[in-house]
Each structure stands twice: as C-alpha cells, then as structure tokens.
C-alpha cells in the first residue's frame, strides 16, 4: 500500500506523517511549505506520474487546505481558488486504477449556525464563511468524482482540533499571550461553546479510517462542549495570564457540539496544559 499525504507539514498532517513513518509505510508527501502548490497543474501532473508508476494500490489522505475562517472572510478568492483547485486535482487522481480510497478532512464549518445541538451529519449545511463553503464544495466535488470513478470516499468533518504547536485559533492566541506576557483578549462574554478534539487523537482516527473499509461522511468529535472561559480558567491554574473582554465578533457561532460518528476523548485540564507547554 502506498499513501499520498497532502498537507504533510501542517498541524494535523505532520502527526499523520509521523504515524505513517512509525509504521514504515510508503508515503508520498505534498505540502505548500515544500514549495508544492497542489492547486498548480505542474504539481498535479508530477503526482499523477508517480502514482501511475507506483504499481501499488494507493490511498490518498487529503489534508491540505487554507483553514483560517476569519481570513477567508477578507480573502475569499484566495480560499476558493486554492482549496477547490487542489481538491479538484485530488479528485482527478481518483481516475487512476490503483487509487482505491480518498480520505478527506472536512470541517464542522460546513454546518454554519447550528439549528440544534449536538450537530449530526444530517444537519443542514449553511456555511458562514468562504472557508466553510469551500469545504462543502470540496465534499460535493469528491462525491461526484467517486460516483464516476469508483474510488471509496471517507469525509471526516472535524470539530475544533487543538494541540501542541498550534498557531491558529484559541490555543495559538493563548500560547502567544503566555509567551509574551501580553493580556489575552476574549471576544464576547467567553461563554461560546466548542467541541475540542486533540490533534494526536485526530491523526490516529484518520489512519484508522484509511486502513479500514469505512466510507461515507462522519463527524469527528467528542460530543462534549466547553466554554472559552472554562479553558482560560484551566490555563490560569498553571500560567499567569491577564485577561480582558472585548466586543463580540459579528456573526460568531455561539455553540457548536458534534454528535460523533467517530468519538474522540473530551478535552481536559491536563490536556490543555500539555497543548500549551512552552
């Protein structure tokens, strides 16, 4: 078995790559940080030739994407252009006879404002950001090509992933505040609820799906919601952290909790501390 791993240097992809290396698996890696822009035809053609000449069955783990929902509001063209073009090329690789399965990491952002919680996979999809909309379009594109070419497809809608070395989101902001001693700003009242899942657990779940017959669209979540205030309280038990409250971000989702199809452990104080170790 040969694996094609996109986003291999990313927050989640680097963990998946490490697990594959521990298993001595054959892996082709692709990442923008290596100068490989999957949205470019030249990169696609190079991958197509490698897979055609491999001789082995291939599983594609498609993790590469631009993932900052707030940035996508300011630069929607960048997100649609990059994410959709890259996924179109991955779907085209599915036409090759030895590509047997594609595992795609989507996002809970496809749901938009929840009409009910916990959110199951039949929940309406009404994304509130270009990032979320790009993920939804990518799902549909891969599904259409799967029907045409016959490859197995697993779509994993990840909820809020956290862990060591995270640069974006709540944990990235917390880490920077701890390192610099600057005041940490909470937007709104801090009672926003999210379903946090640990990056190491997510990486293992991705490989479990890749190596099984599991297909379809699945929520990857803990099923447990935690507020920003609770996480900050846990952080302040270990680190000195000044906090201030600011105006809420317009349109921010108030509560997002998944109904897991793949259930991962809930966030804990100890895991928060581990994720923020300096």
Two tokens, residue 259: 């109904």
Nearest-angstrom CA–CA distance, 209 and 215: 8
What are phi and psi for residue 159, nearest 5 degrees? -85, -145
> Can you state the angle between helices 13-22 and 199-210, rounded to 10 degrees?
60
Rounded Cα–Cα distance for residues 202 and 43 (Å): 27
Strands 226-227 and 193-194: antiparallel
What residues contact 276, with CB distance under 8 A and at least 6 apart? Answer: 171, 174, 175, 178, 235, 238, 239
Residues designated catalytic: 131
Structure token digits, residue 156: 């994993």
- E runs forming strands in 168-246: 184-187, 193-194, 196-198, 216-221, 226-227, 243-246
């Amino acid at each position: 078995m040969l694996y094609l791993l996109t986003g291999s240097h990313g927050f989640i992809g680097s963990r998946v790559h490490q697990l594959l290396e521990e298993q001595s698996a054959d892996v082709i890696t692709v990442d923008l940080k290596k100068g490989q822009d999957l949205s470019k035809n030249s990169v696609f053609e190079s991958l197509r030739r490698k897979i055609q000449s491999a001789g082995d069955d291939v599983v594609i783990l498609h993790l590469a994407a631009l993932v900052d929902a707030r940035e996508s509001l300011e630069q929607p063209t960048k997100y649609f252009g990059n994410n959709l073009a890259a996924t179109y090329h991955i779907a085209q690789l599915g036409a090759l006879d030895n590509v047997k399965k594609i595992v795609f990491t989507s996002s809970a952002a496809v749901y938009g404002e929840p009409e009910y919680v916990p959110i199951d996979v039949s929940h309406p999809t009404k994304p509130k950001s270009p990032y979320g909309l790009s993920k939804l379009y990518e799902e549909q594109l891969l599904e259409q090509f799967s029907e045409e070419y016959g490859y197995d497809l697993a779509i994993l809608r990840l909820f809020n992933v956290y862990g060591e070395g995270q640069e974006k989101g709540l944990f990235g902001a917390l880490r920077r505040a701890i390192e610099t001693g600057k005041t940490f700003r909470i937007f709104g009242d801090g009672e926003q609820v999210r379903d946090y899942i640990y990056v190491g657990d997510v990486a293992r779940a991705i490989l479990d799906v890749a190596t099984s017959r599991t297909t379809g669209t699945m929520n990857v979540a803990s099923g447990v919601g935690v507020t920003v205030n609770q996480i900050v309280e846990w952080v302040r038990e270990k680190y000195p952290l000044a906090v201030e409250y600011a105006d809420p971000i317009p349109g921010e989702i108030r509560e997002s909790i998944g109904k897991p199809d793949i259930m991962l452990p809930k966030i804990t104080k100890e895991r928060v501390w581990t994720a923020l170790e300096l």
